[in-house]
Amino acid sequence: MSHVWVIDSNCFIHLGSFAADRFLKDIKAMAHGGKHIFCVTPGVHDEVRTVRFQQWKNKPLLLESLAPILTTVPIDEAQIKGLARLIGERVSPQDVDLSLMVLASTLTREGKTVVLVTDDFKMTTTGEKANLGYTTCPPSTFMQRLAELSSAKSKSAFNSLSRRIRAAEMRYAISRVNEYDIQAKLTWMVDSLITKSQPTPQPTPAPKESDSAADEVLSTALRRFLNGEQIKAKHKKALGKLPEICAPMVELDAHLARLSSQTYSNDVEGAYRMTMLAFSESLEAVGLGLAPLGEKDAELANTAIAGYAQRTETALGLMAKMAGDRGAARLHLSRALQAATLIDDQHAEMQGMHQLGLLATSSDDWGRAARLFETADRQALSVGAERLRYLVMSGITRHLNHDFAEAKEHILAAHDDVARDKSLACLSLKAIGTSLLSIDQPGLALEILDEAMECAHESGNDEETEALAELLLIAHAAMTKIDALHHEGLRDLLDGLNNIESDVEQAFSEKIEAIGERANLHNTPLENTWNDWQPSERLIPDGEALRVVRSEVDEHGHTLIVVHHGELGALGLWLPEGRLPVSPGHVLSLGTTRVKVAKPTVELQDAHSIRGLVAVEDSSALDFIVATEDMTGDD
């Protein structure tokens, strides 16, 4: 388990005064592999921005030196005010300290064992009164505990630093003897030293219970049996009828595999109904089997089948989103997240929170989206997973929620990930942009894809550069005037994601200008249109298709879909009444029919930037398909 430390400003001030120049090497070794996670809030940055390492050559700024090992987590102002009200305005610590207490409490509620490092005794006493769950220690004890966990080379340096900080803490406490009763604080400081040091305080072990251990063994055995593995005969006997009762859930994975066996599907709503039916039948069968059994057996079974439920609910949520039913999508994805907590699969939890965050983003619910992405990022941090997509989306949604300081902190953290590996960053940013296009947020997608293009260009990946150029054109085709105004100011924020090297900047600018010229051309009405019926192959050559970028319903209830044509740009097409819902990301195939192409009205061209309107002679030939990996959540 990684050790999570939430560190206040005074600790950094002590480090600036006393840390030797080898401190950075020692602390980086502690952070390597996510073994120790060092967290702060943006307010700490404000308080120690000018603090320098006084013992180091050239006295560098402390925050700049420690940036690679610090994780900055923004905290909602409402949470800070809420905690202040809870513990009493008159006795509450300052806002920065409150933000650290909120962070420590939040991480504790997420199941992590957290230590708040502070020499402010009020943060200890008020945290205990409010039952926030974390424990505290002064900076000197923090260094001592790092010494106990470090290598032999670092141990002496950490211990020496601990002693120097402890002396400063004692001097300061004694200097305040005439201002308040320091006895309790001194007792707390001494207790933290003489107590058997734990890097993160562990709960007192409960007495071993044979029944609890046996339940854990049986739970594991049942999951293994459902996965098709062999288990011991005694475990199979102890499980009784549970393997047979839970067996219907296994078919759900087979069902999802059959959906994914084809690359594309042309019936999302049909697949949704079939999956709902299969899920309902499986749950009903399990429920009927468990009904006569006791609570203990039911708990074993529900834990064992949670993985199947999580995967199925995720697929149902994605299909509901594609069908335009956001309410059902949120319900399914929330159930998927809840099921993931039962199987203690943090990667599944991250996926669930990410999908829910995207759904909130599609509804412009920026605050809820930010909280979901930030929680996913903390999960990624705790398991050492890739964080870039969560940091970027946290930064974007915080900015759109007008939490500008928090947004900047997220993008600064994301910048470090981008700088480490631009090839990998290109792929991650491309995935973010594609996701944003699929939820009808082309303005956001355009900004992210521009950053992905920078990374692809710098890393010399010509294939990705061309793929991103096409995605940028699709984003331009999906843009409306409202989108352009809606995200004003975001460009300045996202410029902090990547610093493009000067030797490739000119070539990149020329590439972007060429894409811009094509996009501008695609925004002007077609000069040549077809007033008579023509074979559909003339519009869409065999083997190609049109990608849906937006779907709009007018005041009369008629549906206009805007599609992207690789050469012509954005085209519009009125759906016949009774057609199933169509969402961004669908691909349109015209089949073997005939088409006309007319110039758009001034109103349609101005509102949607479409170049032409397509009329289809036989509307039954229209076919909308979608990648099955987008339906089932397979990567």
pLDDT tens digit string along 102-132? 999 888 887 788 899 998 877 877 777 677 8
d(CA 319, CA 328): 10
- CATH of region 3-194: 3.40.50.1010
Taking alpha carbons only, the member of 188, 333, 199, 315 closest to residue 257 is: 315
Q: Is the predicted pLDDT of residue 90 greater than 60, yes or no?
A: no
Residue 278's pLDDT is: 95
Give me the percent of the chain exceeding a pLDDT of 90: 31
CB of 393 within 8 A of CB of 380? no
Per-residue pLDDT tens over the stretch 180-206: 556 666 666 666 655 544 444 444 444
Does residue 552 sit in helix, strand or coil?
A: strand
Fold of 530-632: OB fold (Dihydrolipoamide Acetyltransferase, E2P) (2.40.50)
Chain position carrying tokens 């089932």: 632
State whether residue 240 is helix, strand or coil. Answer: coil
Taking residues 39-64, report their average pLDDT.
92
Residue 459 near residue 422, CB atoms below 8 Å = yes
The tokens of 250 are what?
Answer: 């296994």
The answer to whether domain 3-194 and domain 530-632 are alike in fold is no
| Measured distance CA(88)–CA(84) in Å, rounded | 6
Beta bridge partners of 40: 72
Q: Which of 49-53, 582-586, 621-625 has the highest mean pLDDT?
A: 49-53
Q: Are 63 and 48 in contact (CB under 8 A)?
A: yes
Q: How is residue 268 written in tokens? A: 């999302």
pLDDT for res 311: 92
Contact 608, 552 (CB under 8 A): yes
Domain ranges within the chain, ordered by starting residue: 3-194, 207-344, 530-632
Helix segments in 19-74, DSSP class H: 23-31, 42-48, 62-66
**Taking the CA of residue 501 as centre, how many other CA atoms within 13 Å lie in the half-sphere pointing to its CB?**
10
Mean pLDDT of the chain: 84
Q: Would the pTM count as exceeding 0.85?
A: no
Distances (CA, A) of 622 to 199, 340, 594: 63, 39, 11
The amino acid at 61: L
Which pLDDT does position 275 carry in this prediction?
95
Give the pLDDT confidence score for residue 74 in this predicted structure.
84
The runs of H, that is alpha helices, within 363-401 are 366-383, 388-400
Sheet holding 114-117, edge to edge: 70-72, 36-40, 3-7, 114-117, 135-137
**Rounded distance between C-alpha atoms, residue 625 and residue 487, angstroms:** 30
Q: Which two tokens stand for residue 389?
A: 């997509």
Instruction: For residue 21, give the amino acid letter.
Output: D
* Residues whose CB is less than 8 angstroms from the CB of residue 600 and which lie 6 or more positions away in sequence, other chains included: 525, 572, 608, 610, 611, 612, 613
pLDDT score, position 191: 64
pLDDT tens for 7-37 read 999 999 999 999 998 999 999 888 876 678 8
